[in-house]
Amino acid sequence: MNICIYETEHFETAYSLIQLFDQPKNKITILTNQACFAQFEHLLRSELDHYNWIIEEANGTRFRRFRNLYSQLKRQKPGLLYLNTVSNNHFLFAGLLWLLPATRTILTVHDINCLFQPRVSFHIHSWIRYIGKKWLTSQVSIFNVISETMTPYLQKKIRGNKKIYSLPGGIYKGGSRILEIMDHIHLVIPGSIEKKRRNYHDVIKLIEEAEQMKLRLKITLLGGIKDEYGKSILNQISRLRLSSVTVKIYETNEVPQGEFDGQLESSHFLFIPSVIETIVCENIPEVYGITKSSGNIFDAIRHGKPFIVPFGLSVPTNIETSCLLYKDITELVTILNGYFQTPGRYLDIRNKAISNSGNYRVEKIRLKYPELFSAT
């Protein structure tokens, strides 16, 4: 079967789809932009030429891009079109599907409220977005969420008996680096430094309290700086006087994928100080773990690492034993100090994380959805 995957933003989740659908009977075409293609080049390396690539024009108008996209899909005649991220131009995407009525389509929903509860004002563009989202959700054949914790909420939003899949945002390939706690604990905080996604004031408080306890931590802020908020956080950290805690930061817009993966492999824990209730898309409230999922959890899954999240964040049940929950930073520092004082305790959660990540191997996911993968 010819499968077309459209993705111009979340290359990591599209990489998971490529691995899942990569079977001898399938031809995979990825429709993407130059920025994502550069990331795919790093991830796929020698396997890049196994797939068909269509790169959209960087400077074309939106109507020209959609005309080209329609032409490509008419030429490809996909048995399955996978729209992995649609964050804008919903009306045009809906029109595209209307022009391809025989094409089975899956749409990944990243922000449920933003897509299903759009706000409308008297501005014409607001009405176009509103109508576009409503039209798009009616045109889609199947929905997907990257975390099973989002499925119950999405089920309440869709009309009819449309299928919902939970194809994960990360695939585990094995080969996790086996670490022990020796002279320090390495925490990695993946993701760009953004106020609406992670609580970096908690990160600063963690650094300060760990320093007071003389807890030997290495903390890596593994993400680029997007705005003035990111710069202010780095400035606050740079002014701290530290001797027990070391902090690595990146004063760039992005972290190269090779460096990103290398730091994750060298970590003892992924620290995800998630903002549970947030507003990211069009000032519409979302709840991480319920209406929106953090891709950082799948960074932990991909690398077989235990991770740390605030109490109240919903995580998939099959990785709960890989997870440390904290109610406040003082409690977290106490927990980490316990691991540092008794390093053998780390081996248990490390081994559980590796075992739990095994639930996200390609073979396991395919077995979970035989009607999708046996048919493709």
Name the architecture of domain 185-359.
Answer: 3-Layer(aba) Sandwich (3.40)
Q: Tell me the per-residue pLDDT of 33-81, one tens digit each, with 9 for 90 and over.
A: 999 999 999 999 999 999 999 999 877 788 899 999 999 999 999 999 9
Q: Which residues contact 299 (CB under 8 A, 6 or more apart)?
A: 170, 190, 264, 270, 305
Query: Which stretches within 163-310 are classed as H helix?
Result: 200-213, 228-238, 257-265, 296-303
- Asked if the domains at 2-170+361-373 and 185-359 fall in one CATH topology, the answer is yes
Q: Tell me the per-residue pLDDT of 264-304, one tens digit each, with 9 for 90 and over.
A: 999 999 999 999 999 988 889 999 999 998 889 999 999 99
Query: Has residue 375 got a pLDDT over 70?
Result: no
Q: Which of 332, 334, 336, 298 is nearest to 315 (CA)?
A: 298
Q: What is the pLDDT of residue 70?
A: 94
Q: What is the pLDDT of residue 376?
A: 62
- The CATH number of domain 2-170+361-373, selected from 3.10.50.40, 3.40.50.2000, 3.90.480.20, 1.20.1440.130: 3.40.50.2000
Maximum distance among all Cα pairs of the chain, rounded to whole angstroms = 64
Q: Tell me the per-residue pLDDT of 323-365, one tens digit each, with 9 for 90 and over.
A: 999 999 999 999 999 999 999 999 999 999 999 999 999 999 9
For the entire predicted model, the pTM comes to 0.92
Q: Tell me the per-residue pLDDT of 89-134, one tens digit each, with 9 for 90 and over.
A: 999 999 999 999 989 999 999 999 999 999 888 889 899 999 999 9
| Domain coordinates in residue numbering, the chain | 2-170+361-373, 185-359
Q: CB of 246 within 8 A of CB of 218?
A: yes
